[in-house]
Amino acid sequence: MQKRIYLSPPHMGSEELNYIHEAFDSNWVAPLGPNVETFEKEVAEYTGTKGAVALSAGTAAIHLALKYVGVAEGDYVFCSSLTFAASCNPIVYEKAIPVFIDSEPDSWNMSPIALEKAFEAFNKKNARPKAVVIVDLYGQSADMDKLLPICKKYRVPVIEDSAEALGSSYKGKANGAFGQFGIFSFNGNKIITTSGGGMVVSDDLDALKKIKFWATQAREPYRHYEHKEIGYNYRMSNIVAGIGRGQLKVLKERIKRKKEIYNNYKKAFYEYPQIKMMPIADFGEPNYWLTVITIDTSSGVEPEDILLKLEENNIESRPVWKPMHLQPVFRDCEFFEHEEDIAAKLFERGICLPSGTAMTDEEQQRVINIIVGCFNKKELGKPI
């Protein structure tokens, strides 16, 4: 069996271990410490925001951002449907109710048409959501110039879920910097990783202070342990932040390689009209976190055939996220569609391809050969 090719495995640079050693040498093997503070500063600088708080996960970042904007029991929160469950699970942690918004076809991100429909429907019943969670899917920005004015019109705060989009931008401005809060994930599969971790960024320094307070068990500033509020153990450790500092140094390189990988696939699939690349909208510059394709099933080839063939050859691939409005756990939640249910269509047809930055050209060719082989009706297609 040939070496396994993963979807997006961690890819360490040369400096991560130095920061970990520094933490060991100074015995900062603890939550918090100098790596955490520096990592926060660096991410804030990178995204052009005034501050950042490093947390144990992107999910924790979404949770505390929602809590800060006042999401509480019985409130509604609008959220992109085509995403990972972590975008909306924290809504339910606060006993609030998610309402799912469809994708638009140009970027697969939240549809302004569906968002407007949702606001109008709520307006009719004199209701308003407490927040809108806008996801930047697979490393590509949502169409902020269309979405943000709608949220502004109804005076509802935005949380930008940029878990997958560190390093991406929209009309020259970094993703993560659009809402009242932006959040990032450093989970093992992300463009850079700390093994696990997250960050919330914002221009509102008071809000970040409060989030930091909640994330450190809501400890009041007394010598003894005094608590007036419920807190969380959500902070990032100094060791983990050391990995993050090293990884941030190679982020630009990683984006460059991700783009090359996307372009290699694009070139290879050019002669196969049955295979469509995930569209890249002209309003932004993605980080190309994952290359995603859709399959025209009138060709007789189903996405499942390709997924199975890749797995037989020890290659990891995945269907596109199953939209949240189709998940059993959210079956009672409302959903507002674009003009037809775009997210469902993308789920039926989409495949995420191996996009690891340490993947060699030869390994990528292996992936390509198997995919085009499915259309050529050959076992393994010749190199193209």
Q: Which residues bind ligand PLP (CB under 6 A)?
A: 57-59, 83-84, 86-87, 135, 161, 163-164, 185, 187, 198
DSSP, res 337: -
Query: Token digits for 188?
Result: 């093992």
* Rounded least distance, CB 11 to ligand PLP, Å: 17
- Of 88 and 359, the one with the shorter C-beta distance to ligand PLP is 88
Half-sphere exposure of 47 (CA within 13 A, CB side): 30
Distance between CA atoms of residues 98 and 84, nearest Å: 14
* Rounded least distance, CB 340 to ligand PLP, Å: 23
Bridge partners of 318? 352
DSSP codes joined into one string, 151-169: HHHTT--EEEE-TT-TT-E
* Rounded least distance, CB 382 to ligand PLP, Å: 36
- Of 268 and 324, the one with the shorter C-beta distance to ligand PLP is 324
DSSP codes joined into one string, 258-284: HHHHHHHHHHHHTT-TTEEEPP--TTE
- Of 20 and 57, the one with the shorter C-beta distance to ligand PLP is 57
* Inter-residue contact 8 to 290 (CB < 8 Å): yes
Segment (H or E) for 98: strand 97-101
Residue number with the smallest Cβ distance to ligand PLP? 58
DSSP, res 144: H
* Rounded least distance, CB 190 to ligand PLP, Å: 7
- Of 83 and 169, the one with the shorter C-beta distance to ligand PLP is 83
* Rounded least distance, CB 43 to ligand PLP, Å: 14
Instruction: Report the candidate in 139, 160, 82, 110 with the shortest Cα–Cα distance to residue 350.
Output: 82
- Of 199 and 370, the one with the shorter C-beta distance to ligand PLP is 199
- Of 86 and 241, the one with the shorter C-beta distance to ligand PLP is 86
Query: Token digits for 33?
Result: 């410490």
* Rounded least distance, CB 237 to ligand PLP, Å: 14
